[in-house]
Homo-oligomer: A and B are copies of this chain.
Amino acid sequence: MGGDGLKPPADVRLRGFAERVAVAAALQWIDARARRLAAEEVDIGAAAGRVLAAPLAAPADVPPAECAARDGFAVRAGDTLGGSDYDPAVLTLADAGDPLAPGSAAPLVAGAALPPGADAVLPFEQGQAKGRRVEIFAPVAAGAGIVRRAQQARAGAVLLDQGHVLQPKDIGLLIALGIERVRVVRRPRVALVVAAPKAAVGPARDANEPMLQRLIARDGGMVAALATGVAGQAAMAAGMAAPEADLILVAGRSGTGGDDVAPAALAERGRLAIHGIALRPGGSTGIGEIRGVPVILLPGEPLACLCAYEMFAGRLLRLCGGRDPDLPHRRCEGELQGKIVSTIGFVEVWQVQLSGRIAKPLAAPEEGGLAAALRANGFVIVPAALEGWAPGARVRVYLYGKEAEA
C-alpha cells in the first residue's frame, strides 16, 4: 500500500477533477509495480507468440551427424571424376542404410545422414538411375552437398535469447532441431469487469468487451475472469474480487457522473491511487491496487477506453508478460495537414488519417467523434509539454492494424 506520496483521490462524482495526475507520473506508478511473471514449461507446438523465460540451448549437435544438404546420390567424389553428358561415369546403385562401397551411389533425401564412406551428394538431376546402374553426368567435389556434424550449432550453444518472442518460423525450426518443450513467461491473467452500458448514452450493448478481449490477446494476456453488465458499487466491488488475477481491468463507470461507481468500489476493496489523469481522451482513468494486484479503471466511452488501455493497461500487460513495453503499433513519420491545438500539461491522443505521408487530424479528442475516429488509420500523441503542432509539422504516427501480436 503505497509509499508513493500520492494522496488518495477525492470522490469526484458531480464535482469533476480538481487536479489531474500527469501521464508520466501514472506511467511511473505502473512501471514500479509491473513484475515479470514466473516461467512455465509448454509444449513447443503451442508456444508461438510466447516469450522465452530463459535462453534456449541446442540439446545436441545440429546436425547430429554429417548429412545431405539436398536430395541426391551419396557418392565418393573420386568416383565421379570425368563424368559428363557424353561420357557418364557409371556407378552401382546402393542402399543408403549400408556403408557406401567404392564405385557405388546411394539415393538419399535432404537431411538424411550420409552413409559411411560417402563424401559428397550429387543432385539427382546430375545423375540417372537405370536399374542398378547409375550414370553420373558431372563430377562433384568432396564435401559438396553435405552439411557437417554440428555445422549449424554445437550441443549447448544458445539458439535464442531470453525474452525472444517465438515466431511461427521458430516453432518449425525448433521442432526440427528436436526441441519438445520450452520455458516461457506465464501469460498474464486478466480479470475483466465490464460495466453495464449507461442507459442515457446509446446502445444497450457494451462496446468495450470485444475490443478489450482482442487487445488483451494482442498483448499476450488472457481473460481469466469476466464479469459483464456490472452496475452498482457492490457488484463492481464483487467483480474486482479476483484472487487469481495478475491485473484487474474495469471498463466503464470511471467518470464524474452520479453512477460512476468504479472508483468508489476500488477504494472500498483496496486502494485508488490515481483518479483523473491529464490525458485526452481517457482523462477519467483510475489506477490502484487490491492486495498488490494492479487495477486499472478505464472510461466507458470506447475511444477513451481504447486510449486508456493503450497508454496504461497494455503497457502493464506487456511488462508482466516479459514483452517490449512500448506501444506495439507500427510507426511512421507523417506531415501534418492542418494544425493540432493541445492543452499544455495534457497528453492528447489525436486520431489521424494517413494518406501517403500526409497525416490529417480527425476530430479533437474531447469531441468524441466516434464516426470520425472510424476513418482513422493511426494516431499521434501530443506530449504534455507542447501546445500542439502547426500545419506541416513532422509527427510520429502510430498505425492501426499493424501491431505486433502475441
Contact = CB atoms under 8 A, between A and B. Distances in A.
10 contacts: A14-B124, A69-B367, A71-B255, A111-B301, A165-B401, A172-B207, A173-B207, A177-B371, A178-B203, A403-B405
Given A168-B211, A201-B111, A371 B404 contact: no
Instruction: Tell me how many chains of this kind the complex includes.
Output: 2
Contacts of A173: 207, 302-303, 370-371, 373-374
Interface stretch (A23-31, A43-51, A84-92, A339-347): A43-51
Given A16-B126, A71-B256, A214-B48, A175 B107 contact: no
B16 A168 contact: no
Nearest to A404: B402
A178 B172 CA distance: 44
A123 B16 contact: yes
A317 to B, nearest CB: 14
B205 A111 contact: no
A167 B110 contact: no
A339 B336 CA distance: 40
A172 to B, nearest CB: 3
A372 interface: yes
A62 B303 CA distance: 15
A109 B169 contact: no
Interface string A119-130: 000011110110
Given A401-B165, A402-B330, A404-B401, A175 B374 contact: no
